[in-house]
Structure 1
Amino acid sequence: VASFQYKGRRDGKHCDGTVEAEDRKQAITMLNGQGVQLQQLSEVDSNKSGSSEGGISLSLGGSKKVKPRDITILTRQMATLLEAGFPLSRALEFVSRQDSSGPMSEMVGDLSRAIQQGRDFSQALADYPQYFGGIYLSMIRAGETGGILAIMLDRLAEMREADEALNDRFKSAMTYPALMLGAMVIALGVMFAYVVPQFATMFEDMGRALPGPTQILLNVGNFAQTWWLAIIVVLVVIGASFRAWTKTVAGAYQYDRMRLEMPLIGGFMIQFAVARLARTAGTLLESGVNMVDAFASAGDVSGNLYISEIMKRALADVRQGKPLAVALSSAPIMPVLLREMIALGEESGQVGPMMKRVAEVYDRQTREIVSGITSIIEPFMVLFMGAVVGMVVI
C-alpha cells in the first residue's frame, strides 16, 4: 500500500490530504468516488519529505508541465491521424515521437502502452483527470461505443480551440485596460509627487492662493506621501480578504453574480459565459448525449457559478416535464437569443445545431467588443489625464 498526496476541489472548495491505495489508479478512483476534482496527485516517497510532482498541471518527467493548450494540440493531432487511417496505438506512438524528451511525450507514451495492453482509450485517459475532464471522457466513450472516435476527437478539438480563442479575447479585453490603468496611476503618482508641489511653490512665490482644484490635488498628494505605508497595508488586507471570500462557495457565487450584473462589462461577461455554455451543449448534443446531461455539463464549464446554478434549477424543472426554454424564462440574465434558439431547437429536434449557432453569434460579438474596447481606451485615458492636468493649471 502506498500513500498519495492530493490537491483538488470538492463542492467548490479547495481540499487536500493524503490517501492510501495500492497504486495511482486506485487512488484516483477512490478520490473520484469522494467527489474530489483532482488538480494534483503525487506519491509520497518514504525516504523524502516531498515529491517531484506539483502544480495544477502535473509534471510528467521534468520541470515543464503539460498545459491546456498542449492537450488541445494533442486532440487535434489524434483527430487528424485517425481520420487519415492510423490505428489508435500507432497514432499515439507517432505523437509521442514528436517530442522525445518532453512531458507530453511521456504521458502519450503511457497512453500508447495502455492501449497495447488492451485498455480502452477512455480508461487510459481517466488516469490523468487533471487533463481530461468528465466531458472529454464522455465524448471519447461515446466515440468508442459508436465507432466514431475520430469524429469525436475532431469535435473536441474544435470545441477546445474555440474556447481557447474566446479565453484569449477575454484576457485581451481585461489586460489592456489594466495596463493602461497602471500606467495612468504611475503618471498620477509622479504628478502628485513632483509636479503639483512645484505649482504650489510657484503660487506661494507669487503671493497668490492656490486654485481650489490644485489645492485638492495637493492635499491628496500630501496625504498619500504621509500615509503611503498604511494605504498599502489597507489595500493588501482588502485584496486578501476579497480573494479569501471569493474562494468560498457563497462568495464565489455572489462574485460571479455581481460580475454579470456590473454596468458596461456585465454584458460582455454574460456573452463570454453563454458562448462557452452553448458551444459545449451543442457539441455534447451532436455527440449523442441527452439534453439534460448535456446542459448540466455545459453549465458546469461555463466558468460562472451563478449561470451554473441557474441551469441546475432549470434542468430540475425539465425533469418535471417543463421545456427548457420555459424553465429558463424565469432567469432574465440569460439572453433572449439563447432562450429563443432553445425553443426553436426543442420544436424542431435540433437543439444541438441551434446551440452551435448561438455560440457563433456570441463569439462574433465578443470579438467586436474587444476591438471596441481597445479602440476607445486610449482616447479615454488621454481625456482623463488632460482633465487632471487642467485641474492643476486652472
Structure 2
Amino acid sequence: MHFRWLAVDPQGKKQRGTLSADSERHARQQLRDRQFKPLTIAACRTPRSRRGLPHRELVLMIRQLATLVSARLPLAQSLQALAAQSETPRQKQLLEALHQQVLNGSSLAEAVADYPEIFSPLYRAMIAAGEASGKLERVLEQLADYSEKTQQLKSKLLQAMLYPLLLTVVALVVVMILLTAVVPEVVSQFSHMQQDLPASTRLLMTLSELAQRWGVLTLGIVMGLVVSCRFALRQPARRKRWHQHCLRLPVMGPVVLNLNLARYSRTLSILASSAVPLLDSMAIAAAVLSNDFVRERLQQAAERVREGVTLTQALTESALLPPMMRHMIASGEQSGELNQMLTRVADIQDQSFISKMTLALGLFEPLLIVVMAAVVLFIILAILQPLLQLNSLTG
C-alpha cells in the first residue's frame, strides 16, 4: 500500500510525501526510523502511471539525472530536483515516485524495475551495474547517448521511407481516380463505334468496370488480409518463420539483418562496458531485437557461451555475422579490448544499414516512377488508339 504523510523533520520543518508500507503502523515506523515526527498519514492510490514516457522526455530525464549525480548530488536529492522542474504531469509523477522509493531505502535499479513499460531490461541492467560499480553517472550518460543514437537511427529510417510511401499512395490514388472517374467518361464515347475496339482499349474498359464494381470490395478484402496477417503473426512459430523469410528477400533481407546486428552489437558493447556479465549482456542484447529468428539464433549463441565456448565461436555458429564483424570481435576478444571493438562494430553496422537502406530506397523510387509512367502510358494509348482509327476512317 501507499500512504501520503505529513511529518516534522529533525530540523523542525514540515515535510510531506508518499511511501510504500504494509500498514499505517509500518508507515509510521518508517518515518520514525528517519527521525521524522508523523503528523498525519493516509492511504492513497499508487502514485504511478502505467503509461510510457515520450522518448525525448526519457532521454532528457536520464541525461539531467546523470549531470546531477556527476555533480556529487545525492541520488534522492537529484530525483527531487528533477521532479520539481518537470513540466509534464507524467514525468513529475514518475520522478516523485522514484524519489520516494529511494528515500524508503530502495536502490534506483529496484525503483525503476517497477516501471517496465518505461524502463526496458537494458535500462534496468545498466543502472544496476552502475550502482554496483559506483559509476552510476557514467552509465547514465552512456544510456542517454545510446538512446539518442537509437532515436537518430529511427528518424533517419522514417525520413528515408516517408517519400517512397507517399509516392506509392499518390500513385495508387491517381490510378484509381483514372480508372473510376476519368476512363469511364472517355471510353463511353467508343460504345457507338461500328468497328471492333483495340485490345488495349477493351482491356482498359474491363479494368475500369472492375474497379467501379469491385473496387471497394477489393479494398476491404485487402484490409481484411492485412488484419488477418497481423493476427496470424501473433503466434510465435508463424512470426519466426515469417521473419526468417524476410531475411531471404533480395534487397530488404540484408537491410533487416544489418539493422538487428547493429542494435545487438551496440547494446552488447554498452552493457559490457558497464560491467554487466557477458551472459546477461548477451541475453538482454538479444531481447531488444525486432526479428524473432535473429533473436533465437543469438540466444542460442548465449547458451553456447554458457557451455564454455568463446564469444567469437558462438556468434560464428549462428551464421548471421558478416566476416568482418566476426574478425573484429575475435580480435577484441584476444586482445582484451572487446568493449572498444564492439563499439566499432556497432558503428560499422550502423553505417552499413544506412547505406543498404539508401540503396534499397534508391532502387525503389525510380522503379515506382517507371511503373507509374507505364500505367499512365497504357491508359493514354488505350484511349488514343480508337480516336486515331476514327480519324483515319473519317479521312
TM-score category of the 2 structures, normalised to the smaller one: 0.7 to 0.9
- Residue segments in structure 1 that go unaligned for 5+ positions in a row: 3-21, 24-44, 46-50, 60-64
State whether residues 47 and 93 of structure 2, in contact with CA within 8 Å, keep that contact through their aligned partners in structure 1: no
Residue 349 (1) aligns with residue 336 (2) = yes
Question: CA–CA distance in 2 between the matches of 1:153 and 1:141?
Answer: 11
Counterpart among 28, 50, 53 of residue 58 in structure 1: 50
Q: Are 1:214 and 1:393, in contact at CA under 8 Å, matched by a contact in 2?
A: no
Contact conserved, 1:169 with 1:370, CA < 8 A, in 2? no
Does residue 124 of structure 2 align to residue 141 of structure 1? no
- Deviation per CA, 1:30-64: give whole Å up to 9, x if none: xxxxxxxxxxxxxxx9xxxxx999xxx824xxxxx
1:189 aligns with 2:181: no
Q: Indicate yes or no: 2:97 matched with 1:105.
A: no
Equivalent residue letter for 2:204 = L
Q: In structure 2, what is the equivalent of residue 122 of structure 1?
A: 109
Contact 1:173/1:373 (CA < 8 Å) preserved in 2?
no
Q: 2: CA distance between counterparts of 1:204 and 1:100?
A: 68
Q: RMSD value over aligned CA atoms?
A: 2.8
The question of whether the paired residues in 1 share the 8 Å contact of 2:255 and 2:357 is answered with: no
Q: Which of 56, 59, 81 lines up with 2:68 in the alignment? A: 81
Write out per-residue CA displacement over residues 60-118 of structure 1, whole angstroms, 9 at most, x where no aligned residue: xxxxx522332222111111222233322222122112225521011101112222233
1:336 maps to 2:319: no
Q: Deviations over 1:118-171 (max 9, x none)?
A: 321112112212112222122111111111110110111111111122222233
1:184 Cα offset (Å): 0.9
Alignment CA distance shift 1:359-1:305 (3 Å) = same
Match of 1:311 among 283, 298, 302: 298
Match of 2:141 among 145, 150, 154: 154
Structure 1 residue 378 displacement after superposition = 4.8
SS at match of 2:290: coil
Read off the aligned partner of 2:50 and give its amino acid letter.
L
Taking the TM superposition and a 5 Å limit, the aligned residue runs for 1:1-394 are: 58-59=50-51, 66-99=53-86, 102-204=89-191, 207=194, 209-372=196-359, 378-394=365-381
Relative to structure 1, the CA distance from residue 99 to residue 318 in structure 2 (aligned partners, 3 Å threshold; closer, same or farther) is closer
SS of alignment partner, residue 247 of structure 2: helix
Change beyond 3 A, Cα 1:119–1:319 = closer
User: What is the aligned partner in structure 1 of residue 27 from structure 2?
Assistant: none
Contact 1:214 1:391 (8 Å CA) reproduced: no
Kept in 1: contact 2:263–2:346 (CA 8 A) = yes
Q: Distance in 1 between matches of 2:47 and 2:215?
A: 42
Report the CA distance between 1:287 and its aligned residue. 1.0
TM-score w.r.t. the length of structure 2 is 0.78
Aligned partner of 1:178: which letter?
L
- Pair 187,101 (structure 1): closer, same or farther in 2 beyond 3 Å: closer
Secondary structure of 1:138's aligned partner: helix
Q: 1:330 to 1:101 in 2, by over 3 A?
A: closer
Superimposed CA distance per residue, residues 174-223 of structure 1 (whole angstroms, 9 cap, x where no aligned partner): 44322221111100101111333344235445655444334323322211
SS of the residue 2:373 aligns to: helix
Contact 2:126 2:271 in 1 (8 A): yes
Structure 2 contact 269–339 (Cα < 8 Å) conserved: yes
The aligned amino acid for 2:163 is Y
Q: Report the TM-score when normalising by structure 1.
A: 0.78
Tell me if the contact between 2:305 and 2:311 (Cα under 8 Å) persists in the aligned partners: yes
Q: Note the alpha carbon deviations across 1:222-246, whole angstroms, 9 max, x for none.
A: 1121123432332233112101111
Kept in 2, the 8 Å contact 1:72–1:160? The answer is yes
CA distance in 2, matches of 1:297, 1:338: 20
Instruction: Give the AA of the match of 1:320.
Output: E
What is the SS of the residue equivalent to 2:115? coil
Greater Cα offset, 198-207 or 85-94: 198-207
Q: Which stretches in structure 2 are left out of the alignment for 5+ residues?
A: 3-21, 24-44, 382-395
Larger Rg: 2
Looking at structure 2, the residues matched to 379 and 239 of structure 1 have their Cα atoms a distance apart, in angstroms, of 26
